[in-house]
Amino acid sequence: MRFRRISIHDFRNISSADTYVDAKDIILKGENGQGKTNFIEAIYTLSYGSSFRTSHLRDAVRNGSTGFSISAEFENSYGEIENISTSFSDNHRKIVIDGKEITDRKELIYHFPCIAFIHDDIGFIKGEPEVRRKFFDQMMSLHSPVFFDNLRSYRAVLIQRNAAIRNGNADLIHFYDQRLAMYGLEIMRERASAVYDFNAIFPGLFKRISGSDIDLEIRYQPSWGDYPSEDEIISYLERTEERDMRMMTTTSGIHRDKFSVMAPSGPFASIGSTGQIRLCSILFRISEAKYFTSKTGNEPILLIDDVLLELDDRKRAELLSELDGYSQAFFTFLPRESYFGEKRESIVYSAVEGSFLNVDRS
């Protein structure tokens, strides 16, 4: 599967760009501030209906414009051509696939499985627990509609239970306990399984690329880890209800789970060098791509934005050698950076003030 043509209008600094991208590797080179990351963000927004840079799509509208539109011609995994568009105006997002408006983003993410490598990914190692929860939840949702549905249902029940706590409605709290336990237990099991599979990929990858003998692992610590059944979770929620009422929120559950990157001597964030931590965050994404392929048999589209810049030549070469399992990739580089001119089937664009010029196909 791959994009064949992408059109972007009034998105960030991109006034109008109609770009041919029917190749395995698309390379966007240019100085900072010229629109490379904006192009990557536009593809992500097209694929997910949301941005990785802002929670408000109005922030992505070009100055002086009232909205933006992004559209693409896309070849799916069956070789069929589809058309997709995402537009935003009057504070309203509209997503259309082959003439049909999509009202639930769930219908969107399984059409265009994109994995974005961005600078903020360093938070996978050094960030708060919420960052790692979000990573694993997105990784699992990308291949499993059942997990996506369970997670969505859990979050809806959590909102309702928290409202009942604030209102002091004990009967409703007990009603929501059962549903929270039901969805939460299933999510715990799926997360534990996903971490097991991730640990079959990530540690060896880190040792090969880093040249280090550090044995890393992802450790999953579920909030309800001591309660392996729905009844036991419900009983625990009842015992801690007074604490929840005092804190005015649900203080336990899968929304409190922790994922830690651990070395034998302790948390890797505390002992790893800056370079090792940056490399580790990139390898999270490569492991995600390999995990996705192992679960679906399909290869994702990769959006790789400036994250290779801090790697030395050896690590960059070895890392790129691991990027063999993708259907299409978009890379951003500074003009002076070396990139893979020897890679087959690539198109190079030069980004200048929101325009993408000087096509070079190899």
For residue range 221-240, list pLDDT tens digits in order.
999 999 999 999 999 999 99
Nearest to 73 by CA among 26, 7, 15, 140: 7
> Per residue in 271-302, pLDDT tens?
999 889 999 999 999 999 999 999 999 999 99
169 — pLDDT class (breaks 50, 70, 90)? very high
In this prediction the pTM is: 0.93
Instruction: Choose one of 248, 281, 314: the last residue of a domain.
Output: 281
Domain that holds residue 103: 1-113+298-362
- CB neighbours (10 Å) of residue 176? 22
- Would residue 13 count as lying in a domain? yes
Inform me whether the pLDDT recorded for 347 exceeds 60. Answer: yes
> Per residue in 101-154, pLDDT tens?
998 888 888 888 899 999 999 999 999 999 999 999 999 999 999 999 999 999
Q: Residue 137 is part of a domain; what is its CATH number?
A: 1.20.1050.90
Strands 2-11 and 67-75: antiparallel
Instruction: Choose one of 281, 313, 338: the last residue of a domain.
Output: 281
Report the C-alpha gap between 214 and 204 in whole angstroms.
10
- Does 132 share its domain with 243? yes
Residues 194, 295 contacting (CB under 8 angstroms): no
- Would residue 287 count as lying in a domain? no
- Does 31 share its domain with 77? yes
Instruction: Choose one of 281, 315, 332: the last residue of a domain.
Output: 281
Report the C-alpha gap between 49 and 42 in whole angstroms.
10
- Does 31 share its domain with 67? yes
pLDDT of residue 76: 84
Instruction: Determine what percent of the chain falls in helix, strand and coil, rounding each to the nearest 5.
Output: 45, 25, 30
- Would residue 10 count as lying in a domain? yes
